[in-house]
């Protein structure tokens, strides 16, 4: 699951795409949190992403590990914009970095039920909307696999889904092209969404060093369930 070499042309496309997405996302965030004190940003510690078993599912008890709060965290910088820090992010968290098309995203491990390689054909239900890629039988029950871009109304498209990020109660999943790594994130490493930021509540914030969106998987799961 290590990152494949990226060609210059793909890098340029990624930069453009990333710039566009972050611009739109940042537009919903307050300007007051622009400058975070450097001293308040602990170094990110990289941990290994779980590898899937052969022909099966990486049955990693993500929640059990990730639910434990990290120690020695730095308090978030106070901002007048009243950032909406979710409970799982209040004392730092671990996040999985993954890619959909040219975009990189981060998802808190505490909200991630499991990671599964997409080895089977998806069952396509006739009349399904574009954001529904299809159904997959996973651990004995159907899981709805979704394309995050059309679901959230952003440009990312999962053209060749290879992995599933199973969320919620295990009946919904987000497809992605590539799993990168898991990182430990301190509260100062995130620009949290403002509480009054409005519509993009699926966006918990931005990882400042990776410059990628942190997704609130619970909100995404809810959106999937309500179409």
Partner 1 sequence: MSNTAVESAAGDPVIQLVTFRLKEETYGINVMQVQEVLRVTEIAPVPGAPGYVLGIINLRGNVVTVIDTRTRFGLPTTERDDSSRIVIIESEQQVVGILVDSVAEVVELRQSEIDSAPSIGSEESSRYIQGVASRDEDLLIVVDLNRLLSEEEWSEMAVF
Contacting range for partner 1; rule: CB under 8 A; set: 68-76, 96-104, 157-165, 219-227: 219-227
Please choose, from the candidates 21, 24, 78, 49, the residue with its C-alpha nearest in 3D space to the C-alpha of residue 182: 49
164 binds partner 1 (CB under 8 A): no
- Helix-, strand-, coil-residue percentages of the chain, each rounded to 5: 25, 30, 45
167 binds partner 1 (CB under 8 A): no
Contacting range for partner 1; rule: CB under 8 A; set: 17-25, 105-113, 120-128, 190-198: 120-128
Radius of gyration of the chain (CA): 17
Among 128, 195, 196, 211, binds partner 1 (CB under 8 A): 128
72 binds partner 1 (CB under 8 A): no
Which helix (DSSP H) or strand (DSSP E) does residue 96 occupy?
strand 93-100
Among 11, 125, 196, 211, binds partner 1 (CB under 8 A): 125
In the complex, the smallest distance separating the C-beta of residue 135 from partner 1, rounded to whole angstroms, is 5
Among 99, 171, 191, 193, binds partner 1 (CB under 8 A): 171
140 binds partner 1 (CB under 8 A): yes
CA dist 22 → 17, 19, 155 (Å): 9, 5, 11
What's the CA gap between 81 and 65, in Å, rounded? Answer: 32
């Amino acid at each position: 699951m290590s990152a494949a070499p990226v060609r210059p042309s793909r890098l340029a496309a990624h930069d453009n795409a990333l710039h566009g997405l972050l611009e739109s996302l940042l537009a919903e965030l307050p300007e007051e949190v622009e400058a975070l004190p450097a001293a308040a940003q602990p170094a990110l510690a990289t941990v290994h992403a779980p590898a899937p078993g052969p022909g099966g599912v990486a049955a990693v008890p993500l929640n059990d590990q990730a639910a434990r709060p990290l120690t020695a965290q730095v308090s978030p910088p106070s901002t007048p914009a009243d950032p909406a820090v979710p409970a799982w992010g209040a004392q730092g968290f671990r996040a999985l970095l993954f890619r959909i098309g040219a975009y990189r995203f981060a998802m808190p491990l505490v909200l991630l039920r499991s990671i599964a390689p997409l080895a089977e054909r998806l069952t396509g239900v006739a009349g399904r909307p574009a954001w529904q890629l299809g159904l997959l039988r996973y651990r004995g029950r159907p899981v709805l696999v979704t394309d995050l871009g059309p679901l959230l109304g952003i440009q990312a498209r999962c053209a060749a889904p290879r992995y599933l990020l199973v969320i919620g109660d295990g009946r919904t999943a987000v497809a992605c092209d590539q799993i990168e790594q898991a990182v430990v994130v301190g509260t100062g490493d995130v620009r949290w969404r403002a509480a009054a930021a409005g519509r993009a509540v699926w966006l918990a914030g931005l990882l400042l060093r990776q410059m990628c969106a942190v997704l609130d998987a619970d909100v995404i799961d809810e959106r999937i369930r309500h179409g």
